[in-house]
Chain A
C-alpha cells in the first residue's frame, strides 16, 4: 500500500470538495466567522464517513452519502456542534472489511477525525470495530446488524441511529399472528442471515401462539424457486420470506404465479425492494403483499412535519424518489439512520462539552447516558429508546401493504414490541 501520510497536515482551508459541501455550502452567504463566532475554537468537528463508494454496497452508499451530507448541512446551518462547523471526510471502504479497518485507522491517524461514522454492511463493521477500539476512536455504525447489541464488539462502537435486525424481526410476530395468520411457512436463504430471521421470527410467532409450520432453506446460489413451493403446507396462512440478492424479484414473482389469486398472505422485508420502483410495469405481482419497512418510503396520509422536512432536506419526494428523478428511488428504509446518528453525535458532543479527541470517552459516556429520544426532526423516523448498556437503539417498526403500486402503512409497532433481553453491558468495559 502506498503511504499518504503526507496529507496529515490538511488545513481547513485546503479541505476537499466533500468537506466544502458539508461546511461552506451549508452556511450560505454568511461568513464562517460570523456563523460560528461563539465557538472557542473554529476548528471543525471532523467526522470520518466510512462509505461504501465501490463494491457491493455502492448503491446504498450513494444514498447514505446524500443523507449524511444533508444532515451535516442542517447541523451547520444551525450553528454546528458546540459552535464549531462539521466536516464530513469521506473514505471509501470498497465494502471490504479489511479496507474498512484501514479506513478507520486513517480517520484516527491521518485525517485527525473526532469520530468514525456511517458503516452499513455488517462484515465491514465487524472487520473495522476492533481497530476503532484499539485506536480509541468512537465508531458510530448504521448497519442494522445485531453485532453491536450481541456484545461481540467494544465500548467504542455504537449504533444509536438505526434499530437492529433482531428487534425488527421479533417485532413482526404480534401483527402477523393477529392480522395475517398463525400458521407461517418461512422461506429464507440458507446462511447466517437467513438463519437469524428463522430463529428470531420463530421465537416471536410462537410467543403469540402461532407456529412455523415449515422452514424452507434455499441455497444461496439458487435462482429458480418454483420447485421449492410444493413444500409449503396446504394450511399455511402466511408465507414469510427474506430472500435477498439478485434473484429476489424472481422469487416473489414465482411465488405469486405459484399461488395465483388464492394466495396465503405474503410477508417480506423491504430489503427485497429497496430502491426498486414498484410502480414499474412488470412488478404487478407485488400487489397485496406485506413488507416490513424501517421507515415508510411513501409519505403517508398522516405524514408528520418532521418527515416532510427530512424529505426536503435530503431531496426525496413523497414517493421516496429523488426530487430530480422520480425513478431514482432512494434506500429510504435505511438511510435515515445516517441522519439520526449524526444528530445523536451532536447531542452527545454538546452534552459532554466535547472539545477534542481527549473527550472521546466523555462523548461515549454521554451517548450511553441517553434514553428517550423523542420523535422530532432529529429523529424523523420516530421516537426511540437508546440502551446505553448494549449501545443499541430501539424504535418503532412499520408494516406496509402494497396497494395500487404504493406502500401504505398498515401497522406501526410499539417500541416495547422490539425489545429483548440485554446480551451485554459495554459500560462495564474500561475505555
Chain B
C-alpha cells in the first residue's frame, strides 16, 4: 500500500497551492503563488527516500543468487510433474475424511453479531478517537489485523470468516423481517462481475486514495460499505449478495480453499494445501476473473513502489511527491495491470488447450471450462504475494495494533499489558535480520508458485485424463508461472521509492 504517476511533481504542487486558496484571492495571486510553489519544490526538495530503510540492506543481499534458486525450484517442479506418473501427481491432492464438527448454525449468526458489535465500537473509535492512524484502533484493525493478518489465517485455517464476518448475523435478522423472499433479483448474466468491480474499487481506495489510513475517512467509508452491503442482502438475498457482490466474502472464501483442513458439520476433510481448489468444479468466468484480479491488485501493490514503475510515470523515485500527486496514474495502473493479467492468463489457457488437442489427443474441453478451473490455480500465488508483500508492514504495525488494543479508547487502560510497549523497527536495521525477513518473503512466493503449478497440473490431469495431454497443456501456463515467480522475487529485491 503506497503509491505511484505522470505529472511532474511541480505540476502537482501547483494544484496543491491553488486548491487551498480562498476563492476571494485574485487569479494573479494564485498564479504567482502556484509558480513560486512549483519552482521551489524543484529547488529545495529533500530526497523522498532520505531515510535508509531495510531496502538498502536488501540491496546488499545476494538476491540474484536467491532468486535463481527460487526459480530453479519452480522449474524443477514443472519438470518433475511432466515426467511423473499421472497417478502420483493426481494423488497429491487426495483427501482423508475426518469426523464432522456438529455446530448449530445459529452460533455463527451470533458470533457475526458480536463481530458487528466489535466493528461498531472500532468505528466509534475511528470517528472520535485519536487522529493518529498508528494510534487509532480502527485503521490498525482494518488494515493490519484484518487485511494483513486475518486473510492469512483464513488461507491457513479455512473459512473463519463464516464466524467473524459482520454481515451474516444482522443480514439474517433483517431478511427475516416480514417477507423473507428477496425483493429483487440480481440478473444471472451479471454473474460475479459486481464483486470484480468492488474488488477493483477496493484496490483503488487502498492504493490510490491519498488517505486510506485516516481514521475518520476510513470509518465513514466502512460505514457506507456496511449500509450498501446490508441493503444488498435485504434486497437481493444474503447468499446472492455475499457470493456475487461482496468482494471480501468472495475473496476470503476463495482463500479458504487453500486450507489443508476443512471442517464440516457431517464430515471434515484434510489434504495437501489447495486440495479444495483441485477438487473444485469450474467456476463461472466472472468468478475466475475475480480470482485473477485478486492476484492483479496484489501484484500491482508492490510494482507501484518500484523505481521501474515510478520511472514509467515520470516520478523521480528519490523525490516521491506523495500519493495525492499520482491518483490517476495509480488507478490507471491498477486497471492496466489487471487487464493485462487476465489477457495473458487467458491466452496461456487457450494456447495450452490448443496444444493439448493438437499434440496430446485431448478431448474437446471448452475454453470457458478450462479458464474457469485453471484460474483458481493462481490463488496460492495471490496468497503468497499477500504474505510476502505485507510481512514487513505487519511486523511494525502489528506492534502498534497491540499497543492500541491495550488502550483502545485512549483512556490510559492497559488491557493486555502492551500499552507502553516500545514499537521497534530494529529488525530492519541489521543485515542478518533483513536476510531472514527477505528469505521468508521469497520462500512464501516460491512455495505459492509451486503449489499453483501442482494445482494447475492436477486440474489439467482431471480435465484431459492423460498425463501427456496434461503436460503439454501446461507448457504455456507453467511458463507464465515461472515468469511470475521471477516477477514476485524481483519485486522483493528491487529498489523502491514510494
CB distance from A127 to the nearest CB of B (A): 5
- Give per-residue flags for A327-344: 1 if the beta carbon is below 8 A from chain B beta carbons, else 0: 111010000000000000
Assess whether A276 is in contact with B56, with CB atoms less than 8 Å apart: yes
Chain A residues near B135 (CB-CB < 8 A): 16-18, 90
Residue of A nearest to B33 (CB): A130
Chain B nearest CB, measured from A116 CB (Å) = 13
Q: Nearest CB to that of B221 among chain A residues?
A: A2
What band does the interface of chain B fall in when counting residues whose beta carbon is under 8 Å from A?
35 or more
Chain A residues 123 to 170 lying within 8 A of chain B, measured CB to CB, are 123-124, 126-127, 130-131, 134, 143-147, 150, 152, 165
- Nearest residue (CB) in B for A127 is B16
Q: How far is the CB of A47 from chain B (nearest CB, A)?
A: 13
Q: A374 contacts the other chain (Cβ, under 8 Å)? A: no
Identify the stretch in B124-132, B267-275, B364-372, B472-480 within 8 Å (CB) of chain A at 4 or more residues.
B124-132
A98 B131 Cβ-Cβ under 8 A: no
Chain B 195-228 per-residue mask, 1 if CB under 8 angstroms from chain A, else 0: 0000000000000001101101100110000000
A275 lies within 8 A of B52 (CB): yes
- A150-B44, A245-B49, A277-B429 in contact; A4/B20 too (CB < 8 A)? no
B323–A94 CB distance below 8 A: yes
Which A-chain residue is minimally distant from B46 (CB atoms)? A122
Chain A binder among B76-84, B152-160, B334-342, B490-498: B490-498
Query: Is B9 engaged at the interface, CB distance under 8 Å to the other chain?
Result: yes
Q: Which of B256-264, B310-318, B351-359 contacts A (4 or more CB under 8 A)?
A: B310-318
B495 pairs with A223, CB closer than 8 A: yes
Residues of B within 8 A of A145 (CB): 44, 46
* A56 and B13 within 8 A (CB): no
Chain A residues within 8 Å of B48, by CB:
56, 95, 121, 123, 245
Contact of B423 among A62, A130, A192, A331 (CB under 8 A): A62
Contact of A249 with B422 in the complex, beta carbons under 8 Å: no
Q: List 9 A-B contacts (CB under 8 A).
A: A55-B322, A56-B49, A123-B46, A123-B322, A126-B37, A196-B44, A248-B52, A280-B429, A331-B51
A123 and B319 alpha carbons, distance in the complex (Å) = 9
Closest CB-CB distance, A147 to chain B, in whole Å?
Answer: 4
User: When A90-B131, A272-B52 are in contact, do A192 and B322 touch as well, CB less than 8 Å?
Assistant: no
B425 contact set on A, CB distance < 8 A: 59, 62, 275, 328
B495–A247 CB distance below 8 A: yes
Smallest distance from the beta carbon of A22 to chain B beta carbons, Å?
11
B403 to chain A, nearest CB (A): 9
Decide if B100 is an interface residue (CB 8 Å cutoff).
no
The answer on a CB contact under 8 Å between A98 and B60 is no
Q: Which 6 A-B pairs have the closest CB atoms?
A: A17-B410, A96-B322, A327-B426, A16-B130, A328-B426, A98-B324
Residues of B with C-beta under 8 A to A271: 47, 50-52
Among A89, A92, A281, point to the contact of B431 (Cβ < 8 A).
A281
Residue from the list B13, B51, B407 in contact with A126, Cβ < 8 A: B13
* Interface presence of B412 (CB below 8 A): yes
Tell yes or no: B343 within 8 A of A by CB.
no
Interface hit among A206-214, A229-237, A318-326, A383-391 = A318-326
| Contact string against B for A residues 95-130, beta-carbon threshold 8 Å, 1 for contact and 0 otherwise | 111110100011000000000000011111011001
Beta-carbon contact of A245 and B318 below 8 Å: yes
Evaluate contact between B132 and A90: CB separation under 8 angstroms: yes
Residues of A near B49 (CB, < 8 A) are 56, 244-246
Given the complex, which residues of A lie within 8 Å of B221, measured CB to CB? 2
Instruction: Choose from A95, A122, A246, A248 the contact partner of B45 (Cβ within 8 Å).
Output: A122
Chain A residues positioned under 8 Å from B310 (CB to CB): 221
In the bound complex, do residue A191 and residue B131 qualify as a contact, i.e. CB atoms below 8 Å apart? Answer: no
Inter-chain contact B127/A4, CB cutoff 8 Å: yes
Contacts A4-B216, A246-B53: A328 and B424 contacting too (C-beta < 8 A)? yes
The residue on A at minimum CB distance from B219 is: A2
Q: Is A282 an interface residue (CB 8 A)?
A: yes
Chain B residues near A33 (CB-CB < 8 A): none
Give the CA-CA distance A106 to B217 in the complex, in Å.
Answer: 14
Tell me the nearest residue of chain B to A285, going by C-beta: B60
What 0/1 readout, one digit per residue, does chain A (247-264) give for beta carbons within 8 Å of chain B? 111100100000000000
Partner of A321, one of B22, B320, B426, B498: B426
Q: Of B59, B410, B411, B498, which contacts A247 at CB under 8 A?
A: B59
B79 CB, nearest partner CB in chain A, Å: 33
Q: Which residue from A53, A248, A324 sits with its C-beta under 8 Å from B422?
A: A324
| Interface check A51, CB cutoff 8 A | yes
Q: Which residues of A contact B45 (CB under 8 A)?
A: 122-123, 191-193
Task: Assess A274 versus B431: contact at CB under 8 Å? Given A17-B135, A18-B410, A98-B16.
Answer: no
Residues in A whose Cβ lies below 8 Å from that of B447: none
Q: For the complex, give the distance between the alpha carbons of A69 and B49 in Å.
A: 25
B417 nearest CB across to chain A (Å) = 14
Given A62-B425, A276-B52, A276-B56, also A94-B210 (CB < 8 A)? yes
Contacts of A276 in B (CB 8 A): 52, 56-57, 429
| Chain A residues packing against B (C-beta within 8 Å) | 1-2, 4, 6-7, 14-20, 24-25, 51, 53-57, 59-60, 62, 89-92, 94-99, 101, 105-106, 120-124, 126-127, 130-131, 134, 143-147, 150, 152, 165, 189, 191-193, 196, 220-221, 223, 244-250, 253, 271-277, 280-283, 315, 321-329, 331
Kindly identify which residue among A92, A124, A253 contacts B60, using a CB–CB cutoff of 8 Å.
Answer: A253
In whole angstroms, how far apart are the Cα atoms of A246 and B63 in the complex?
15
Contact A121 to B59, CB < 8 A, known contacts A220-B317, A272-B52, A322-B422: no
Instruction: Compute how far the CA of A135 lies from the CA of B206 in the bound complex, rounded to whole angstroms.
Output: 31
Which one of A95, A150, A283 has the greatest number of beta carbons of chain B within 10 Å? A95
- Determine the distance from Cα of A14 to Cα of B125 in the docked complex, in whole angstroms: 12
A98 cross-chain contacts in B, Cβ below 8 A: 12, 15-16, 19, 210, 322, 324-325
Chain B interfacial positions (CB closer than 8 Å to A): 2-3, 9, 12-13, 15-17, 19-22, 33, 36-37, 40-53, 55-60, 127-136, 210-211, 213-214, 216-217, 220-221, 307, 310-311, 316-325, 404, 407, 409-412, 422-427, 429-433, 495-498
CA distance A152 to B422 in the complex (A): 39
A92-B133 CB under 8 A given contacts A97-B321, A246-B496, A328-B426? yes
- Contact partners of A328 in chain B: CB under 8 A: 422, 424-426, 429
Asked if A220 and B424 make an inter-chain contact with CB atoms under 8 angstroms apart, the answer reads no
Closest Cβ–Cβ distance, residue A346 to chain B (whole Å): 23
Q: How far is the CB of B229 from chain A (nearest CB, A)?
A: 18
In the complex, the answer to whether A101 meets B131 with C-beta atoms within 8 Å is: no
A145 to B43, CA, bound (A): 10
Contact: B131 with A92, CB < 8 Å? yes
Contact B131 A16 (CB under 8 A): yes
Of B22, B130, B311, B496, most buried by chain A (CB within 10 Å of CB) is: B130
- Is A245 a contact of B47 with CB atoms below 8 Å? yes
Chain B residues within an 8 Å CB radius of A152: 36, 40, 44
Give the shortest distance, in Å, between A286 (CB) and chain B (any CB): 12
A24 & B324 in contact (Cβ 8 Å cutoff): no
Please give, as numbers and ranges, the residues of chain B lying within 8 Å of A18 by CB-CB distance: 130, 132, 135, 410
Chain A residues whose CB sits within 8 angstroms of the CB of B210 once the complex forms: 94, 96, 98-99
The answer to whether B410 and A15 touch across the interface, beta carbons within 8 angstroms, is yes
Report the nearest A residue to B44, measured CB to CB. A147
- Complex Cα distance, B200 from A393, in Å, reads 49
Which residues of chain B have C-beta atoms less than 8 A from A165's C-beta?
46
Q: How far is the CB of A219 from chain B (nearest CB, A)?
A: 10
Given A7-B216, A223-B495, 12 new contacts (CB under 8 A): A2-B216, A17-B404, A92-B213, A92-B214, A98-B210, A123-B48, A134-B20, A150-B44, A220-B316, A245-B47, A245-B317, A281-B431
Smallest CB gap from B315: residue in A: A220
Contacts of B407 in A (CB 8 A): 17
Chain A residues near B311 (CB-CB < 8 A): 221
Chain B, Cβ-Cβ closest to A144: B46
**Cα–Cα distance between A246 and B60 once the two chains are bound (Å):** 10
Closest A residue to B52 using CB positions: A276
Interface centre among B40, B60, B131, B407 (most CB of A within 10 A): B131
Q: Which residues of B contact A57 (CB under 8 A)?
A: 51
